[in-house]
Amino acid sequence: MTIIDNYRKYTSRSLSLYREARSVMPYGVSSNYRYWEPYPIYLVKGKGSRVWDVDGNEYIDFNMGFGVLEVGHSHPRIVEEVRRAVEDSTILGFEYEKSVELAKIICNRYNVDMVRFSSTGTEATMHAIRIARAYTKRKKIIKFEGHYHGSHDQLLINVNPMRLESRVPTSPGIPEETLSNTLVADWNDYEGFERLVRVHGNDVAAVIMEPVAMNMGLIPADLDFLKGVFDLARDYGFLVIFDEVKTGGKFYSGASGYYGLKPDLVTLGKAIAGGLPLSVVAGRRDVLGVVGPGRVAHGGTFNANPLSVRVAIVTLRDILTEGAFYYMNSLSEELQKGYEDIADDLDIDLIVNRWGVSGTIIPAEIPPKNYKEIVRNTDFKTYSLYFYSMLTQKIIPMAYQEQWTISIAHTSEDIRNHIEKAYDTFKLIKSRGSSIYSELNLPDIEETW
């Protein structure tokens, strides 16, 4: 029985539900990132470090809501807070009193002057570049290839192109005119970034980046590269935006605190609200000061809704403490070491990158520094076999081609289980050689990455 046959065997009800779902939802899902060939699994509940699918399979979850659930699934403190919050209304329309308390917590924790709340990361980055343009009175935005900043048109370019060209829109339906002021640079390539700035710098409003790239596996920034970007921004008068929707929850004070850098604007989301939708645009007082009635537009009916605000306060104040991060980091380091031992024991090419509570594996010989190197050097077929094999062994190792997230609900036993299953997987792949690739019987994985 092939790996894919095994996957089909254990997920037959997911297949049935997929066939039903795709008649009423494109590809049977509500987000493109939840779909994979031949069909996705459908989950019904989560508790702690576990989730269950419609077939009754219990998985140890290392995806954790694409990095949202560092508090774990259904944390009892959050369940209780939501229950109490619902009794006081899920939305009030006018400003909620506790949004002030949350704003102060975020300002202190992330070393920012002011904040504005939204609901999703997409909204936060969209508003951040609007604010930057208004503040600088310039139009152009620089982003890095392979970095993802949400699904609004202005930054959906060169997110994950398999054609390594200079400008590749990520989706049909995006007019070239919309992208005409979006410039693309290579991650960790200071010389290339400097050349781009020399040509366009006086027209650039901001550079936006994931300070640790987490939508092309996981590629940390070179610190000298980051400092060089900050220096050029200062020289040419454009802003630096850290998109910390993911990284803001990987260390106690995010990448800004980790690197000891203070960007002009920071966007936050995901883990900071313990599983509820909340995002933040934060930064310098003078930059955020352009927002207001009759000035820069920022609105949203569900901004700072009572449920998200109350849960975020509990999450940041009481649950994701410095002690919690020490615990999660130690488990993440343990998982990293396990994968490194697998690579050594089996003598296979496997790059293991970790940053804080998250990490990833890249089947490659040389550690990639940017997106182009990932595309050129990664063995995508091996990764695909690994992913399906881990699912059939009841481990969700990470989101596809992204990274694991450790929560406070995970245990050392969870880590050992993960490592044992990963060892068995890579041992099987190696023992059966290149013939195992025929088991995929799927569209070319590079076309769907």
Residue 161's pLDDT is: 79
- The third-level CATH classification (topology) of the domain covering 76-319 is Aspartate Aminotransferase; domain 2 (3.40.640)
Q: Which two tokens stand for residue 400?
A: 């596809």
Residue 434's pLDDT is: 67
Q: What is the mean pLDDT of residues 412-433?
A: 94
Span 37-92, pLDDT tens digits:
999 999 999 999 999 999 999 999 999 999 999 999 999 999 999 999 999 999 99
Dihedral sign of CA atoms 436, 441, 447, 449 in order: negative
The rounded mean pLDDT for the chain is: 94
| Catalytic residue IDs | 148, 243, 270
Span 197-214, pLDDT tens digits:
999 999 999 999 999 999
Q: What is the mean pLDDT of residues 255-278?
A: 97
Span 182-193, pLDDT tens digits:
999 999 999 999
Beta bridge partners of 361: 352
Instruction: Please give the torsion angle defined by the CA atoms of residues 366, 372, 378 and 380, in that order, rounded to the nearest 10 degrees.
Output: 170
- The third-level CATH classification (topology) of the domain covering 3-70+321-448 is Aspartate Aminotransferase, domain 1 (3.90.1150)
Residue 401's pLDDT is: 79
Please check whether residue 231 is in contact with residue 207, taking contact to mean a CB–CB distance below 8 angstroms.
no
- Compute the distance between CA of residue 194 and CA of residue 404 in angstroms, rounded to an integer: 33
Q: What is the DSSP letter of 139?
A: -
Please check whether residue 383 is in contact with residue 438, taking contact to mean a CB–CB distance below 8 angstroms.
no
Beta bridge partners of 177: none
Residue 446's pLDDT is: 41
Residue 445's pLDDT is: 41
Residue 447's pLDDT is: 43
pLDDT at 361 over 80: yes
CA angle, 338 then 342 then 346, to 5°: 170
- Compute the distance between CA of residue 61 and CA of residue 239 in angstroms, rounded to an integer: 37
Domain extents in the chain:
3-70+321-448, 76-319
> 370 in helix, strand or coil?
coil
Please provide residue 218's backbone torsions phi and psi, each rounded to the nearest 5 degrees.
-155, 115
